[in-house]
Chains A and B, each alone.
Chain A
Amino acid sequence: MSTPTEVYRDAQLAVGRSLEQIKRSRNLGIVYLILAAITAWRLTSHAGTATFNLSGGHSFGVAATPLAWVVAGSLAVMGGVQLARGLGKWQTAALAAVAVVFIFTLLAWAAAPNSFAFVGMLSQGVTYSAPLIFGAMAGIMCERSGVVNIAIEGLLLSGAFTSALVGSVVNFWVGVGAAMVVAALFAWFLAWLAIRFKVDQVIVGFFINFFVLGLTSFLGNRILAVDEAYNQVRTLVPWKIPGLHSIPVIGPILFEQTIFVYIAFALVAFLAWAFAKTRWGLRTRAIGEHPRAADTLGVNVNQLRYRNVIAAGAVAGFGGSWWTANVGRFNENITNGRGFIALAVVIVGRWSPAGALAGALVFGFFDAMEAKLSFLNTGIPGEFVQMLPYLATIIVVAGFVGRSRAPRAAGQAYDSQ
């Protein structure tokens, strides 16, 4: 006698898929069915038309209740298909589509029968994702070289503080430069202790987090609080890219941002290209995966690690000045854990720049959506919306990333002898 699970498993194996894939696809199927149930149960309750405002006075309307029923039905069908036979190579695309459709339905339900600024929200989401992108890129640069960087939070915070102080006293861009230098110094310290003394990289990383939090709060109270002139920067205005910004919908979302967003996207593209195509990228990946082999082939492992970690620090410092550019001042612990989210984004994005970009955008989007939903006053407690991205991260990491392909040598000191 075999249990139903075994029968199911045998049937799936006959189709030629690994156990791991089967498990994942079963989990996905269950997730879809749950989403279908939630949609049918909760999101059909608001009658009327939800109006999604686009830019320039355009808008479109959706009848919330019929939409919810249609979506619930399709989700149930997809869940069934996923459970029965899986979606093969379309699985990831289907997951993304399901997420988008579900959130759209949620928004329609929340907005009906009123309207809300849909494009404004998406644009806000892109803005919020910028510091996460910088943090995640800094993390990827370190981890791909075999150095675990748990100090992203501290590096971002040091950048935010420095750019606010120097930016107030001198000018904004000098402040940004100073932020990059200071964060690079902290990163150098991480590399120095990790490489020269082989101190556990996580301990050094946490030291930097603790130290920067303490120091910036202390100096904030002792110096910035003394005189407003030390903590006052003019916020950066968005720069509309000529031509591109007038594309409907996409223009206002992507091309009416501050320079930070453009640089973030450029950095992602550059790193994706550099990791794949350049000598530097190949060497970096080599020292992160198998430093001994790289050493044998003449790569100076520790020197390259130093360089990459210091460069990563500069990137994080730049990212930290995003807060100064957006808020116009420094507040105690202004980064508020975003550096840890960036760390999660690195892992969810499987250590690839493009993957991390996607993760950062999702988090940024949830930040923006949370603000919107609490404004719409839907009756769902705002806390649940705030919880969503974190729960989603757990589900993604547990369900789909799992024992992922991290750079093998991450966290290991290297002895060149």
Chain B
Amino acid sequence: MTAAIASPRPAPDAEPRHSPWPHRWISVRLNALALLTALILSALIIAISDLDKLKHGDVGGMLTNVKDSYIALAKGAFGSLRGFSETVTYATPLIFAGLSVAVAFKAGLFNIGATGQVFAGGLAAVWVGFAIDIPAVPHIILAMAAAAVAGGLWGGLVGLLKARTGAHEVITTIMLNYVASFAVLWLLKTTAFQAHGRSDAVSRDVAKSARLPFLFGFLHRSSIDLRAHFGFVIAIALAVFVWWLLKKSKLGFQFRTLGANPEAARYAGMNPGRLTIGAMLLAGAFAGLGGGSEILGGINQGHATSSFAGNIGFDAIAVALLGRSSPWGTTAAALLFGALQAGGQEMQLQVHVPIDLVLVIRALIVLFVAAPSLTRIIWRLKDSGGEEGAQLFKGWG
């Protein structure tokens, strides 16, 4: 955006207005309030949508319903080792894909295409997993590397198109998601991938040597019971890497400069085109690793179906927004989303409240975290100085 039309923003207050609390704590408190507000609003939705009780004015019944739902939610997420394992299982792909979206955000790019990149990575991993016969550790490394490369190429294509032709990544990533999902649907029915004796889109199973070990395998409990797998550890390692990349490395500095001000980046002698391609390559590789981890880990039982990417790419955007694109924030947000998902399963099972409520809670959390002013108005807090979320969208140009 050219400077001429950028309206002058109000100067941030030089000193926060007489708040007794240190700045960091205010932000923590605001986020906690955001979570609380989201839960309260969702409780209202649970209560009101119970038509029978609403008709009879059964307020007590509604409250019980809300209470039972939230207790089931908490139990499902943290109440047992199984709950915790489920939380981790659902969080794992979101960490990978969330980091993918976050890194792109830092470079000023909006990666809606994590779905396609997860597909690309998962497909590469499944092929290496069943077609190659080598011992366990190298097999896993090779399969994950293939996933990263495939996802990276799929993401890098977006960067290339943007750098070379100016095609906006929002459009190309959305379109490439569709292309990837149809390509997967087709590939899984070809002889190169399809499971023997199947006519639908299901791949062969990856070899045992390529499966990621279960996280709680040492407990010797059923793997259906404790599905959390080693992908989680890789995801955390990736978060550390992203932290290092963004905070300590030259490349990360260049990404952040590009994201903050492309003109400044160009003026400082950086190559915006090459950085755009690089950022999308990395973003794609991260999401691709997520696809690999989904396939090689427990949740898909070692094979690919036409929908194994699910809503990961879409949810990852929420995760990155919630985590404000920082690696730790993103990881925490992914864990929160994973907990909600795991808890939501339990809630649906125990109290028969549809799991889709989890989507509502997630959306509201993102809203209140992204718009602290809204949270402040609801809780009648004083404005402690402009710390509104940074602007992500840089226009269509």
Contact = CB atoms under 8 A, between A and B. Distances in A.
Contact of B393 (A214, A219, A411): A411
A234 interface: no
B161 A404 contact: no
B318 interface: yes
A173 interface: no
Contact of A406 (B50, B371, B397): B397
B182 interface: yes
B24 to A, nearest CB: 22
A221 B356 contact: yes
B172 interface: yes
Contacts of A207: 363, 366-367, 370
Interface string B179-209: 1001101100100000000000000000000
A306 B273 CA distance: 36
Contact of B167 (A198, A214, A401, A413): A401
Contact of A387 (B9, B178, B396): B178
B336 interface: no
A403 B395 contact: no
Nearest to B190: A381
Nearest to A198: B388
Interface in B350-381: 353-354, 356-364, 366-367, 370-371, 373-374
Contact of A391 (B7, B166, B175, B390): B175
A414 interface: yes
B373 to A, nearest CB: 4
A226 B49 CA distance: 11
A398 B390 CA distance: 28
Given A218-B49, A399-B165, A210 B363 contact: yes
A262 interface: no
Contacts, number: 183
A197 B356 contact: no
A275 interface: no
A415 B9 contact: yes
Question: Taking each of B189, B364, B367, B397, which has the highest tally of chain A beta carbons within 10 Å of its own beta carbon?
Answer: B367
B168 to A, nearest CB: 7
B8 interface: yes
Given A202-B392, A218-B49, A408 B1 contact: yes
B393 A200 contact: yes
B166 A402 contact: yes
Contacts of A203: 321, 366, 370-371, 389, 392
Contacts of B161: 394, 398
Contacts of B189: 381
Give the interface size bracket for A toward B: 35 or more
Contact of A397 (B172, B183, B364, B374): B172
A399 B161 CA distance: 9
Interface in B96-143: 110
Contacts of A218: 45, 49, 354, 356-357, 359-360
B222 interface: no
Contacts of B176: 390, 394
Contacts of B5: 290-292, 408-409, 412
Contact of A200 (B6, B165, B361, B370): B370
B394 interface: yes
B1 A412 contact: yes
A214 B359 contact: yes
A285 B163 CA distance: 28
B39 interface: no
A142 to B, nearest CB: 13
Interface string B151-166: 0000000000100111
Given A206-B318, A383-B183, A413 B367 contact: no
B57 interface: no
B354 A211 contact: no
B49 A411 contact: no
Contacts of B361: 214
A197 B371 CA distance: 7
Interface string B285-326: 000000000000000000000000000001001100100000
B174 interface: yes
B171 interface: yes
A222 B356 CA distance: 10
A176 to B, nearest CB: 23
Contacts of A150: 170
Nearest to A345: B171
Given A197-B371, A199-B389, A217 B366 contact: no
A387 B179 contact: yes
Contacts of A53: none
Nearest to A226: B51
B366 A347 contact: no
Contact of A402 (B45, B167, B354, B373): B167
A204 B367 CA distance: 7
Contacts of A390: 175-176, 178-179, 182
B269 interface: no
A193 B371 CA distance: 8
Question: Taking each of A332, A383, A417, which has the highest tally of chain B beta carbons within 10 Å of its own beta carbon?
Answer: A383
What 6 A-B pairs come out closest when comparing CB atoms?
A214-B359, A406-B396, A403-B166, A210-B363, A217-B356, A211-B363
Given A211-B363, A347-B171, A403-B397, 10 more contacts: A197-B388, A199-B388, A210-B362, A213-B359, A222-B354, A394-B172, A406-B395, A406-B397, A410-B395, A412-B7
Interface of A: 148, 150, 193, 197-204, 206-207, 210-211, 213-215, 217-223, 226, 290-292, 332, 337, 340, 343-344, 347, 381, 383-384, 386-387, 390-391, 393-394, 397-399, 401-404, 406, 408-415, 417
Interface of B: 1-2, 5-10, 45, 49-51, 110, 161, 164-168, 170-172, 174-176, 178-179, 182-183, 185-186, 189, 314, 317-318, 321, 353-354, 356-364, 366-367, 370-371, 373-374, 388-397
6 contacts: A211-B367, A217-B356, A387-B179, A393-B175, A394-B167, A402-B166
